[in-house]
Amino acid sequence: MSRLLQSACVFVTLLVATACDKVPLLAPTQSTITLTTSTTTVPVNGTVEVSASVTEPSGTPVQNGTFVTFTSSFGTIEPQEARTTGGRATVQFRAGTQSGKAKIGAFSGASRATEVEILVGGAAAAKVLLRADPQSVPATGGTTTIVATVIDGSGNALAGVPVTFTATAGQMVPGQAVTAATGEATTILSTPRTTTVTATAGAQSGTVEVSATSPAVTITAPASIEAGVPATFTIAPSTAAGSNPLRSVTIDFGDGSSPVALGPVSGTTPVAKTFARAGVYTVRATVVDTAGITGTSTIVVSVAAQAGISVTLTATPNPVSLGTQQSGIVSFTAATGGFGAGVAVQAYYWDFGDGGTVTTTGGAASYRYTTPGVYTARVTVRTTNGSEGLAILVIRVTA
């Protein structure tokens, strides 16, 4: 072979070798590519390791150096192409600033993997828990810290999730925040009145109500109250967060008596009250705090008539005849007792049993019956404290 021919053969051999080296090694036809990820959730700007396991139709790993190309619906894959070692190629998925479901794929030659999904940012959120600290502000307005906790379907805190805050009243600063490693995102609410705050992460949201509270007290009444008997009420300041100390408390018992001024109230305070009459009363406390804000608290109480009033009814004559000198006239007397000192009879309500009635301020009454028969006479006695007593007597009227 001539030297020229030998040189030509060497050139062709080098050319073929160079060309083969530049052609990537791809998976054989009908190979299987299986994708796995280090996690299925990632924060915005986070990274996830993605691996592709490539096996030939026989089930053995492909040759080392087989090229695998990776794809993603958003974000980036670094590097986009990787060579296998022991049948596995590994890359990094970088999420970027977009939240959503990133679909990751891979192929080598004619073989293609089934895509896997990675939940990015808000897309991984299964629930948003919202709290306010404190949950109330003064009636004149104030600020409170709003904390949103974002968790996934397994109850794990999600970091790097954008959370958007809105409120029905007031101002949120900032209006959007990203969750920290604890899964919490924080903002400050300034509001002049009761407000509902909503925090949204992805498709999930949570709400909390922040109330603007007026000063108030808790009024506690006895289980039972009788007219003419002293009853002890208790007044206790509200313990709501953000409440100011109370400068003055005034109690109106709703029975027409003068209100009771308690002055500053810092703890549970007893107040004695005696209702003169039975009835239903609205007890109202007017409260002023140290900021000059006024509030009211009310309860409704039922005052019963004092127990123990005794009434005895007598009648003369009984029976009575229509044909005698009395001509059917009966004299009634009601004797009372059992009520306390300072209490007097206010009125006697007489019912003579035949339709006749009369009201007197004294314990005596006369009545003329005109028809023979048997009648049930009644007298109801009412005292100045609203207590009542009743007595009944059968009257016989003859012709």
Vertex 232: Cα angle to 231 and 233 (nearest 5): 120
Token duo for residue 136? 């109330």
So what's the pLDDT on residue 289?
86
Say whether domain 32-123 belongs to CATH 2.60.40.10: yes
Q: What is the CATH number of domain 217-304?
A: 2.60.40.10
Report angle CA 285, 216, 140 to the nearest 5 degrees: 125
Nearest CA to 286 out of 234, 215, 236 is that of: 215
Domains 32-123 and 217-304 share a fold: yes
Residue type, 327: S
What was the pLDDT predicted at 10?
42
CATH architecture of the domain with range 125-213 = Sandwich (2.60)
Nearest Cα to Cα of residue 239 among 266, 212, 207: 266
* Beta bridge mates, 178: 162
pTM of the predicted protein model: 0.47
Q: Say if CB 187 and CB 165 are below 8 A apart.
A: yes
Q: What is the pLDDT of residue 20?
A: 44
Give the number of other CB atoms < 10 A from CB of residue 65.
11
Regions in the chain scoring below 70 on pLDDT: 1-22, 240-242, 307
Residue 133's CB is within 10 A of a number of other CB atoms, namely: 10
Rounded distance between C-alpha atoms, residue 224 and residue 301, angstroms? 9
Cα(265)–Cα(290) distance, rounded to whole angstroms? 11
Q: Where are the domains of the chain?
A: 32-123, 125-213, 217-304, 310-398
pLDDT at residue number 294 = 85
Sheet holding 373-383, edge to edge: 320-321, 388-398, 373-383, 345-351, 357-360
Q: Is domain 310-398 annotated with CATH 2.60.40.10?
A: yes
If one counts every other C-beta atom within 10 angstroms of the C-beta of residue 366, the result is: 9
Side-chain-side CA neighbours of residue 388 (13 Å): 10
| Number of CB atoms found within 10 A of residue 11's CB | 10
Q: How far apart are the C-alpha atoms of 242 and 264, rounded to whole Å?
A: 18
Q: Is residue 320 within 8 Å of residue 398, measured between CB atoms? A: yes
pLDDT score for 8: 43
Any bridge partners for residue 83, and if so which? 67
Reference 31, options 3, 1, 54; nearest CA is 54
